[in-house]
Amino acid sequence: MMTGWALTTDAELVSFEASNGFIEGEYIGGQGLPVGVIKNWLVTGANPSIKVCDSDGCTNDVKPDNVDGDQMARVQTDSGVTTITIELEPTKRRSLTSFYWAYRGTGVSACTDYFAVPYNTQTATLEVTYYDLDDNELGTDLFCGGLAQDWGPLMTLAECSFSDVPLSRVVMAMTPPSGGSMFYLESLLFDEVPLPTGSTTMISFEESEGFPVPGTAFTGQGVPASLISAWNVTGNNPSMKVCDSDGCTNDVKPDNVHGVQMGKVDTDDGATTLELIFATTKNHSLNSFYWAYRGSGNSACASDGLGATTATLDVTYYDLSGDAIWTDTFCGGLAQDWGPLLTLATTSVAGTPLSKVLMVMTPPSGGSTFYLESL
């Protein structure tokens, strides 16, 4: 099934704790922590670094008090602007709702109206820019302050303007009034932005969906036009056609799950590759599909009790930037009599907007055929 956006919240708090894989005193630039939430922390500037601190503030530095837990992140450069890019894991649609930050660097700096009696107008600013799932810039928030009355660093809540928009990355740029800069981060709250209910669409290869009559190939065509821009098949004499109850010229075929037609993909020998390219007018994900196998060799998952020689269906998903984000491997698709059996496959990236899906059917030997239904 294909789906579009939803709006409920499943929050993930990143507070740089050991329970999330962070180690005190360790530099985390280039790492994907916590796993499943952040793909990468990237810091740029003059001799930049991002390091996990505990109550000692990274080798007895002056540090602010924690908001949650015992650890925080310290970001710094020797001079000028410090920039940190937070790349979000693409398998989830997450927004940044809020975070805490504190400033410590060169210059006695604060917002001009931060204290009752302004001390100066030399303001250190934290600019936070947000990018959507297509990596388009959405906008920038500007924060200042992060200081206590004694000019020590103070964890200050920053509430983000795009808290309901799924993001690919967030870029934070810390600009000091002079010299170098250091700022601390803590308690970043990421919310999951799910799909709206009632927006699922099923592709079952029916004529009512725009597919041709049974026995007709549709390789390279965009059907249905609102969802798919092309079905491309590669391999040794590859083909993709529509089958009805006769299974494409009386082939053995599985029973339908929905409707009376299904898709049949095959090659004469070796792996069969199906490239499913999504229409760009909407954000669609592939949540699930049914598939069945028929090819050379008595093949099944070892756990099925039918045999240990396994034909595999590898399904790779590509995000809206065209990057591969995950691969699922499915096996089986067979009935007890070794005939093809439509079997439910649930994807690991359900709800993630995709640009394309690549399905590779690898038989244990010879050629291969696999059927698709109810995507």
Please indicate, yes or no, if residue 127 is contained in any of the structural domains: yes
What are 32's two structure tokens?
Answer: 């994907």
In a domain, 254, yes or no: yes
**Considering the domain boundaries, does residue 238 fall inside one?**
yes
- Structural domain including 345 reads 207-373
pLDDT of residue 218: 84
CATH number assigned to the domain comprising residue 293:
2.60.120
Quote the pLDDT of residue 151: 72
What's the CA gap between 102 and 145, in Å, rounded?
A: 8
Owner of token pair 């690549």: 358
Pick from 14-23, 229-238, 293-302: least confident: 293-302
Residue that the structure tokens 């250190």 belong to: 124
Q: Does 202 map to a domain?
A: no
Q: What's the pTM?
A: 0.54
Listed residues 161, 192, 223: the one ending a domain: 192
Kindly report which listed range (41-55, 78-92, 234-248, 275-289) carries the lowest average pLDDT score. Answer: 234-248
Residues 181 and 250 grouped into a single domain: no
Q: Are residues 177 and 264 in the same domain?
A: no
Query: Does residue 14 sit in the same domain as residue 148?
Result: yes
Residues 118 and 213 in one domain: no
Specify the pLDDT at position 190.
Answer: 94
Q: How much is the pLDDT for 3? A: 37
Q: What is the pLDDT of residue 65?
A: 82
Radius of gyration of the chain (CA): 27
What lies within 8 Å, CB to CB, of 347 at 6+ separation is 285, 286, 287, 288, 289, 315, 317, 328
Q: 109 and 46, same structural domain?
A: yes
Q: Structure tokens of 36?
A: 């499943």
**What is the tally of structural domains in the chain?**
2
Q: How much is the pLDDT for 187?
A: 93
Q: Is the confidence at residue 357, as pLDDT, over 90?
A: yes
Q: Is 253 domain-assigned? A: yes
Summarised one tens digit per residue, pLDDT across range 237-292 is 888 888 886 656 556 677 787 888 888 888 777 788 999 999 876 678 898 888 88
Is the pLDDT at 170 greater than 80, yes or no?
yes
The answer to whether residue 200 sits within a structural domain is no
Residue 17 sits in the same domain as residue 129: yes
Q: Does residue 180 share a domain with residue 32?
A: yes
Q: Quick check: is 74 in a domain?
A: yes
pLDDT at 317: 93
Tell me, yes or no, whether 119 and 248 share the same domain.
no
Tell me how far CA of residue 1 lies from CA of 53, 109, 246, 273, 341, in angstroms: 45, 54, 25, 20, 19
**CATH value at residue 95:** 2.60.120.430
Task: Output the pLDDT for position 14.
Answer: 93
- Residue 6: inside a domain, yes or no? yes
Same-domain pairing of 146 and 116: yes
Of 164, 192, 220, the residue at which a domain comes to its end is 192
Mean pLDDT calculated for residue range 181-196: 82
User: Do 237 and 145 share a domain, yes or no?
Assistant: no
Task: State which of 192, 224, 254 marks the end of a domain.
Answer: 192
Same-domain pairing of 32 and 85: yes
Q: What residues pair up with 38 in beta bridges, in sequence order?
A: 88
Of residues 276, 307, 278, the one with CA closest to residue 291: 276
Is the same domain home to 124 and 244?
no
The confidence score (pLDDT) of residue 49 equals 86
